[in-house]
Structure 1
């Protein structure tokens, strides 16, 4: 059995050579390419070739903090198994797992160098019109196939045990539903919006809504989630999309995945000074939801459980998923504005005045989504966003 060690680029090269069974005479080069908070990531390829292999290793601590915050290496196994499961039902949109070594906490993944991170594409003003609908299909496929629309009681409970991820999902619970709603030491609050943050921390009605979302996150095990589906976890190219980085996955409410990606599109919306780009984000959210809804409706109707097959029930269920998604989107927007981990969409804005205005808009939008989740349908959300876009333009 392999003995755990923290990889350098030579270790990554050796791992690829062994697991990919390459000719020993083939020259390989490796470089570290990871910029995430948790793991280290290497690309290994032949000199002069654009594509090769991706080696991802889980460290025994949170990388961006260091050894003072230890973290289970078993997350590599969980991520590999989630990606393999999702890949069974949405292979077109899930990064391929080529090998997994549980002792080394290493995953060998397909190289997606011919795609780019969706967040970076949005920051550069690029628009991939197919991406939202493709992502909606991915989410519907992996959600329905891991839910009780496909699995019987024993099958779903067995899957919930197999994909249990308590340590990382506990981190999610803390950073989504606890830290941003109090004056926590892990928060990262810009001085210019400190007063806005303090108003949120004192808002008891908001905290009640967040408590409900937190409780559902822990108890509503509807489907096998990706668990961290922001625009940095999606790779895009013309007509293509792949989802990566599922180490925070586990069973939870379907609306959580949907809400996180909606929130990241809305964070980009808040950062834009261009009316056409804000409109694109509104259209992206609409395309995402319509695609997800249509695909879920089709797949759910094929359930072997006649009690769940009624179209009226499925539509009611999806309405509740939408309401959950809006609430979780609000939590994600707030935590990405005053919590421990921000997004480049707003943090990298050059104009400090516009940046502060965008942060304030994000906090207000996050609160509105949490408080109004059970009142906003898709058309009402679009109308609200269009109104905000017009006010920003003024």
Structure 2
């Protein structure tokens, strides 16, 4: 029997070479009966689905490219992000194994991760655009965030362990993408920005708002300096797969140690962006109600789970002081609102948009809704310390959604 070729030196996989690689892993009973299809539609990586013909069993192989696929070799990126992603998934699986894909194998030399296939799941963004509702989503994401963020914070870890992890998850290339595309470029007249001419007056109002720029600068500095916990780093609705009973968070290649409120803010923002898109539909009252409830329940679940972990698992003596937890939760909350505002603005006029808004067919309506998105994003950034309760936040969102 012909032995599979040894694949141990980095090169981008093809549908042929990825099969040869998987044959060496003893994952399948019939490795000579594999077919591979490239299915990735992201900006940074190659993604292959491999199927065993006899059993129809399938896996996913994700491989990092040494550049951003969306741009090409003129935008080089470190392959270390593949190791960061696989290690993040393994750490997360220790606390919420039901909420992340199971990792079967990693190869740091080839910058690839082999994991379970989630073909039975749907991409959350696509489902929300199609007006589908997932009642368990908020509880799942709230629990995911509380467990992953608390368990990697100074409240749960010995200081030596935490500091070693901070070094391990230093992720300069992908952090720079976030620093530029979320916190910098959309707030200035930068060539990476992308928006129609009709939106320019609203965009220029963003650029000219000194109060807004001051607050965004503060949020960016928090992102740069506050290594509170291991973040997912890119928690939008395209990074979440769902079924009626299950949720899986994927693609943590942007993982690094940053402010706890960042992941919450990104998730809130993408739910809000979808809610804004419902202003173009005839079923909006019921849809908006469900989306607002998702935002509410996510925070409530997060706060409850985080508090439980605080009471049962904290390693820091100051967590026994009664006033610390409310202050820290308030910081997470206000940070999340500010980060959500930045995400809303950048997804409207920055390099990477969301289909929720861009798929609105009537152009005039699309522009009108994007103007609202910019106004709301700026408002959340500037007023985040005044929206100190969930009800204040929800009322502000409802105000932006009124026609």
Q: TM-score when scaled to structure 2?
A: 0.94
Distance in 1 (CA, whole Å) between partners of 2:358 and 2:288 is: 17
Q: Secondary structure at the match of 2:24?
A: helix
Question: CA distance change for structure 1 residues 34 and 164 in 2, over 3 Å: closer, same or farther?
Answer: same
Aligned-partner Cα distance in 1 for 2:56–2:246: 18
1:331 alignment partner in structure 2? 342
- Structure 1 residue 225 corresponds to structure 2 residue 238: no
Match of 1:131 in 2: 137
Match of 1:182 in 2: 188
Point out 4+ residue stretches in structure 1 off by more than 6 angstroms: none
**Given the alignment of the two structures, is residue 381 of structure 1 paired with residue 387 of structure 2, yes or no?**
no
1:242 CA drift (Å): 0.6
Shift in Å, 1:162: 1.2
The CA deviation at 1:386 is 2.3
Alignment of 1:56-71 (within 5 A): 56-71=62-77
Distance 2:18 2:317 in 1: 50
User: What does residue range 132-147 of structure 1 map to in structure 2 within 5 Å?
Assistant: 132-147=138-153
Match of 1:11 among 17, 29, 41: 17
Q: Which residues of 2 match residues 1-394 of structure 1 at below 5 A?
A: 2-24=8-30, 26-47=32-53, 51-273=57-279, 274-302=284-312, 303-376=314-387, 377-389=389-401, 391-392=402-403
Shift of 1:387: 2.9
Deviations for 1:38-84, whole angstroms, at most 9, x for unmatched residues?
Answer: 00101001238665100001001000011111111111011111111
Alpha-carbon displacement from aligned partner over 1:109-134 (angstroms, at most 9, x marks no partner): 11111111110110111100101111
SS of equivalent to 1:89: coil
State the Cα distance separating 1:24 from its structure 2 match.
4.8
Q: Which runs of 5+ in 2 are unaligned?
A: 1-6
Pair 1:356–1:90, CA change in 2 (3 A): same
Distance 1:226 1:49 in 2: 34
Separation in structure 2 between the aligned mates of residue 338 and residue 71 of structure 1, nearest angstrom:
24
- Distance in 2 (alpha carbons) for counterparts of 1:353 and 1:181: 23
CA distance in 2, matches of 1:298, 1:107: 33
Task: After superposition, give the CA deviation of every residue in 1:133-188 in whole Å (9 maximum; x if it has no partner).
Answer: 11110010000000011012222111101111111111111111110000101111
Q: Over the residues paired in the alignment, what is the CA RMSD in angstroms?
A: 1.4
Instruction: Specify every segment of 5 or more residues in structure 1 that has no aligned partner in the other structure, as ranges.
Output: none
Q: How many pairs does the alignment contain?
A: 391
Worse-superposed segment, 371-380 or 270-279: 270-279
Q: TM-score, with normalisation over the residues of structure 1?
A: 0.96
Change (3 A) 1:179 1:258: same
Deviation at 1:312, TM superposition (A): 2.8
Which deviations, in whole Å up to 9, do the C-alpha atoms of 1:78-102 show, x marking residues without a partner? Answer: 1111111111111111121111111
Alpha-carbon contact 1:2-1:103 (below 8 Å) kept: yes
SS at match of 1:174: helix
Shift of the alpha carbon at 1:374? 0.5
The 2-side partners of 1:231 and 1:49 are apart by 32
- State the distance in 1 between where 2:309 and 2:214 align: 34
